[in-house]
Structure 1
Amino acid sequence: MNTFLLEIVTPDHLVYSKRVNSLSVVGAEGELGILPGHVPLVTPLRVAPMTIKSEEGTTTLAVHGGFLEVHKDKVTVLAESAELPAEIDLERAEAAKERAQRRLQSRGKMDEVDHRRAELALQRAVTRIKVSSRSGHH
């Protein structure tokens, strides 16, 4: 068996459900490659692009935090949000990135919580931009 079922779920909907050959994600410990037969595992995910390889080719998604659960022949990603390249509004992401960078530069007036929020907003924007441009949608 050289595939496994990958399901990507957000609080709103099932984003992705297909048999795939491999998955590459960024977990708390760094980059992780998941292949069929991987040992069972649960790990938090960072805000980063996720790469899926299947019969149809390679798909990249923008995944914003959450958890990865590896079971015997199924992998579930429970994400706060996950977007396919076609769903990403590049101009909005660019604007969000600039907003977040401006907020981080004027950090004199910012408390820790605000600073963390701005950093996460920046990571999310950068992840969206990477995913959308990687797929050739400009």
Structure 2
Amino acid sequence: MANTIHFEIVTPDRKLLSEDVEYVGAPGINGEFGVLPNHIPFLSALGIGSLYYKQGGKKYYVFIAGGFAEVSPEKVSVLAEVAEKAEEIDIERARKSADRAEKRLAQQKEKVDFARAQAQLARSVHRMRCRESAVAEGTCRM
């Protein structure tokens, strides 16, 4: 179709997604970016956050943590360190992970790896937001 772009998400473990979509919005390291069919080519590092794509007029969400996006006029390829579809996110596990990270940050001990705890907290919070966004859109059930 002329109004779609091929979209793939690949992690070290699996090919998560390979679909023709209408739009892709992703958390670039320097801010969020959007891609429509026939976009100019570019490469971007990815941050932590919710990537979403539109298919059939609906938004679908995927949690992303690190990696790269390569955009061409016909295709968006995401090579992600971590990627989970919103419906795969275990919200209770994410809450527990966020609680553990907050406790580590509050301890303020020298042995606590502050940057690692901050990253864990960010991943957990963004996983929960991704899942909540998908539920709000009606593309994922609780």
Q: Specify the TM-score bucket, using the shorter chain as the normaliser.
A: over 0.9
Structure 2 distance, partners of 1:77, 1:105, is 35
Partner amino acid, structure 2, of 1:55: G
Q: Which residue of 1 aligns with 2:58?
A: 57
1:135 CA displacement: 2.2
CA distance in 2: counterparts of 1:93 and 1:15, whole angstroms: 20
Provide the residue aligned with 1:69 in structure 2.
70
Alpha-carbon displacement from aligned partner over 1:63-91 (angstroms, at most 9, x marks no partner): 11111110231110000111112111110
Structure 2: distance between partners of 1:70 and 1:110: 41
For 1:61 and 1:120, the matched residues in 2 are separated by 18
> How large is the RMSD of aligned CA atoms in angstroms?
1.4
Tell me how many residue pairs correspond in the alignment: 136
TM-score (norm 2): 0.90
Separation of aligned partners in 2, 1:37 and 1:128:
30
Q: Secondary structure at the match of 1:48?
A: strand
Q: Displacement of 1:56 after TM fit?
A: 5.8
* Cα distance in 1 for residues equivalent to 2:127 and 2:29: 19
- Percent identity for Structure 1 against Structure 2: 37
Structure 2 match to 1:123? 122
**Which position in structure 1 is the counterpart of 2:13?**
12
Task: Specify the alignment match of 2:22 in structure 1.
Answer: 21
Equivalent position amino acid for 2:94 in 1: A
- Structure 1 residue aligned with 2:93: 92
Where do 4+ consecutive residues of structure 1 move more than 6 Å?
Answer: none
* Structure 2 unaligned blocks of 5 or more: 136-140
Q: 2:138: which partner in 1?
A: none
Q: Which residue of 2 aligns with 1:105?
A: 106
Q: Deviations over 1:72-118 (max 9, x none)?
A: 3111000011111211111000000011111112223246xx22211
Give the Å deviation of 1:2.
1.4
